[in-house]
Structure 1
Amino acid sequence: AFSFKPHLASTFLDIADFLLVYIEEAHPSDGWASSDAAYDIPKHQCLQDRLRAARLLQEGAPGCLLAVDTMDNASSAAYGAYSERLYIIQEARVMYQGGRGPEGYKISELRHWLDQYKDRLQSPQASVVLPV
């Protein structure tokens, strides 16, 4: 199930780039299916299956770049993403790592971090006093 809020990306487009990484389907229709799933997506048998499913996701998240994990789930393993996870990466450093989804997936925490960051960017710089 996809629960990222696309309007979040448009709200912070001026300070951040957003990337969704589509990983293994958590609730495939031919497996542990969710009764409230928005899409009927069977378990991915090949990369083409995963790409087709990712395109559905991209339609629901305009303005977000989309990447697709490999069939060996390298990105999911590297970021501990199963089944969903939020990160903020800045200058090759992890600045925010949300909890594992679905329980730890908290858009409100991400929004709070981005709000604070935006405030810091918009606040006037402290004036520098130079001796004369």
Structure 2
Amino acid sequence: MKHSNNNKEKFYFEIYKEERFNLFYFELKDEEGNIYLESWQFTYKTNCKEGIKSVIRNFKNRERFIIEQPFYNAWRVYLKAGNGIIIAYSQYFDTEKEAKNFIEDLKCLSLETPVIDKTK
């Protein structure tokens, strides 16, 4: 996934329900609908919403990010909560620089970041 260091992008969260197993998850998207972060699955929607708040709380701490190159020259960003558990992961980036730029772009997140509930 291409990504530039452009803090003007607007992000928003969407909450989904995986119908087969009745689990909830969220995605962080940009204005064009590109997915940048995904969560693990949650049993309850309230836990999913808490996961979004955890992303907003933890993205400010650079030590909470892990950048890895799992395979094929693709880079992925993981975000950990204060307890060390990974709460969200990015899509793949083509370069480590794009992954680092993405982390910088998250500075625009706040409690005002829109959350769209797609489960209704």
Greater strand share, structure number: 2
The TM-score by the shorter chain falls in which range?
A: under 0.3
Report 1 or 2 for greater relative contact order, CA contacts < 8 Å, sequence distance ≥ 6: 2
TM-score, length-scaled by structure 2: 0.27
Greater helix share, structure number: 1
TM-score, length-scaled by structure 1: 0.25
Structure ID, larger Rg: 1
